[in-house]
């Protein structure tokens, strides 16, 4: 690409002096990192790393910046994210994770001896979810306000039910195909591809009220092929095309407004959070809630356990 070769500053003492890169060389290394280190990751994961490293590139290219991959410089970048950019602590942790992985790639490539970002810890993730959950009154108002006249009405109701009573997320819903619905002796299940996954390697139970809503919608679509998307657009220009997450969020927010429950902290993803609380309030074991929410640890599920009273607010 016409860039000079990458070299460690002061060669023999590179372990102390780090690595000097031009902005062009940094861009090349980032592209190679995304191509090789993340080759088995989903497009969403690669996109998250790309956006995070875009911020680092912008900061790196500030005139007068003399960056050589030293721990104190990583600390300066962290301070920039927190103080100048004013990012939420979760976003800061995400950006630092991306940089930490990039630095490890440079170590594995022989350009750095040690990973300087390992010494810089990300901010602690909050012990409670920043998004609010729906109260019991909110749930009732939303469900009672959902129309069922048109094809779009039935689709939107099915989407909201799969999130509110099934615990699915927007990305899981938009990735689902008709063939992913499976009936077993234990009931209906949906095979899903979760965030950061490349395969549909998880099964989620679909309880009867949710399945009834989905079936009511599918019955309006006439002949459906197994490979068709479970939820599609019904607009004049996009009839039959798979819904994207942006469209799902827009439709849900419209129903929040119509039900009069749209308020600060309430977002479409609040439906998914509310599902866990509904299950706990109905007496479901916390271990079963963990499994249905696809949580990595019981600690995450305990956040919901401690917030059960939120439904009564």
**48-106 residue pLDDT tens:** 889 889 999 999 988 877 888 999 999 999 988 888 877 767 778 888 889 999 999 99
Mean pLDDT across 132-161: 94
- Say if residue 295's pLDDT is above 80: no
The 3 state secondary structure assigned to 2-59 is: CCCCCEECCHHHHHHHCEECCHHHHHHHHHHHHHHCCCCCCHHHHHHHHHHHHHHHHH
pLDDT classification of 8: cutoffs 50, 70, 90: very low
Instruction: Compute φ and ψ for 224, nearest 5 degrees.
Output: -125, 135
Q: Which structure tokens are listed for 52?
A: 């995070």
Q: How many CB atoms lie within 10 A of CB 77?
A: 20
The answer to whether 7 and 20 are in contact (CB under 8 A) is yes
Mark 114-141 as b/e (b = at least 16 C-beta within 10 Å): ebbbeebebbeeeeebeebbbbeebbeb
Mean pLDDT across 251-274: 92
pLDDT at 256: 96
Q: Which structure tokens are listed for 12?
A: 């023999």
Q: Which residue has the higher pLDDT, 295 or 273?
A: 273
Q: What is the largest CA-CA distance in the chain?
A: 74
> pLDDT digits over 31-51, tens only?
999 998 888 877 778 888 898
Start-end of H helices in 80-167: 89-108, 136-145, 151-164
Mean pLDDT across 263-281: 88
Q: Which residue has the higher pLDDT, 299 or 117?
A: 117
Strands of the sheet containing 202-206, edge to edge, are 181-184, 187-192, 202-206
DSSP string, 216-281: HHHGGG-S--TTSBSSB--STTTTTPBP-HHHHHHHHHHHHHHHT---TT--TTHHHHHHHHHHHH
- Say if residue 250's pLDDT is above 50: yes
Angle (CA) 84-87-91 rounded to 5° is: 140
Q: Which has the minimum average pLDDT: 138-152, 166-180, 185-199, 256-270?
A: 185-199
Q: Which structure tokens are listed for 75?
A: 């600390």
pLDDT at 210: 96
Q: Which residue has the higher pLDDT, 248 or 236?
A: 248
- Say if residue 16's pLDDT is above 50: no
The whole-angstrom separation of Cα 28 and Cα 108 is 16
Question: Mind listing the domains of the chain with CATH numbers?
Answer: 7-119 (1.10.150.130), 136-312 (1.10.443.10)
pLDDT at 57: 92
pLDDT at 173: 92
Q: What is the overall mean pLDDT for the chain?
A: 84
């Amino acid at each position: 690409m016409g860039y000079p070769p990458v070299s460690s500053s002061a060669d023999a003492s590179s372990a102390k002096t780090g690595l000097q890169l031009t902005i062009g060389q940094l861009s090349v290394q980032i592209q190679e990192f995304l191509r090789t280190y993340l080759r088995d990751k989903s497009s969403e994961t690669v996109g998250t790393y790309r956006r995070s490293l875009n911020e680092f590139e912008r900061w790196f290219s500030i005139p007068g910046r003399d960056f050589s991959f030293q721990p104190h410089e990583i600390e300066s970048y962290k301070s920039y994210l927190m103080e100048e950019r004013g990012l939420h602590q979760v976003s800061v942790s995400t950006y630092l994770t991306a940089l930490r992985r990039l630095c490890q790639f440079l170590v594995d490539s022989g350009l750095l001896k040690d990973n300087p970002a390992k010494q810089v810890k990300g901010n602690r993730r909050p012990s409670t979810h920043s998004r609010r959950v729906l109260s019991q009154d909110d749930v009732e108002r939303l469900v009672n306000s959902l129309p069922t006249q048109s094809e779009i009405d039935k689709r939107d109701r099915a989407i909201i039910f799969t999130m509110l009573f099934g615990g699915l997320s927007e990305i899981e819903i938009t990735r689902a195909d008709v063939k992913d619905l499976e009936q077993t002796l234990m009931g209906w299940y949906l095979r899903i591809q979760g965030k950061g996954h490349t395969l549909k390697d998880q099964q989620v139970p679909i309880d009867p009220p949710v399945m009834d809503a989905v079936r009511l919608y599918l019955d309006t679509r006439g002949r459906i092929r197994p490979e068709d998307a479970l939820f599609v657009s019904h607009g004049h220009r996009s009839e039959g095309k798979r819904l994207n997450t942006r469209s799902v969020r827009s439709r849900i927010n419209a129903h929040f407004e119509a039900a009069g429950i749209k308020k600060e902290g309430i977002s479409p993803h609040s439906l998914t959070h509310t599902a866990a609380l509904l299950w706990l309030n109905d007496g479901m074991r916390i271990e079963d809630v963990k499994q249905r929410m696809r949580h990595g640890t019981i600690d995450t599920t305990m956040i919901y356990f401690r917030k059960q009273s939120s439904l009564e607010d």
